[in-house]
Amino acid sequence: MSEAGVWLVIVAVAVLTALIKGAGPLVLGSRQLPPRLVGVIVLLPSALLAALVVTTALADGQAIRIGATAAGVATGGVLLLVRAPLVAAVVAAVLVTAGLRALGVA
């Protein structure tokens, strides 16, 4: 892609992202969500975060890969469950992932 083409992509992605982020507030304005929808919103983070965890840990493009990253993330997860600080969990996950990869695990 030409340099000008890349600039076009950047501008288009910026505009689209702003529209996506702003659409909800723009459409709803000051109206309150109906109580039934509040029930959905309360559950939304659980679903979204779980989906983000599995896709970032296990998806490699459209392939599912259970390898070094998954092992590293599992290590971090165990540390989080025993209430280790986030930084410790992240460092442990990175070390395990990098270590396994150095040993040839994908």
Partner 1 sequence: MPGDRDSLRRGLRLGVPISLVIGLVAITFGTIGVDMGLTPLQALVMSALVYAASGQIAAVTVIGSGGGLLPAVLASGLMNSRFLAMGLALAPSLTGGRLRRAAQGQAVVDTSWAMANNGDGTFDRWLLFGSSAPQYVAWVGGTALGAYGGGLIGDVDALGLDAVFPVFFLSLLIGELRGNGSRVIALAGGVVALALVPLTPPGVPVLAASAVALVGLRRRGGGAR
CB of 54 to partner 1, least distance (A): 5
Shortest distance (Å) from residue 104 CB to partner 1: 12
Question: Per this entry, what is the length of the chain?
Answer: 106
Element (H, E) at 20: helix 3-28
Q: Least distance in Å: CB of 45 to partner 1?
A: 5
| Minimum CB–partner distance for residue 103 and partner 1 (Å) | 12
> Is 93 within 8 Å of 73 (Cβ atoms)?
yes
Q: Do residues 70 and 57 make contact, with C-beta atoms less than 8 angstroms apart?
A: yes
Of the candidates 51, 48, 102, 94, the residue with the CA atom closest to the CA atom of residue 71: 94
**64 DSSP β-pair partners:** 59
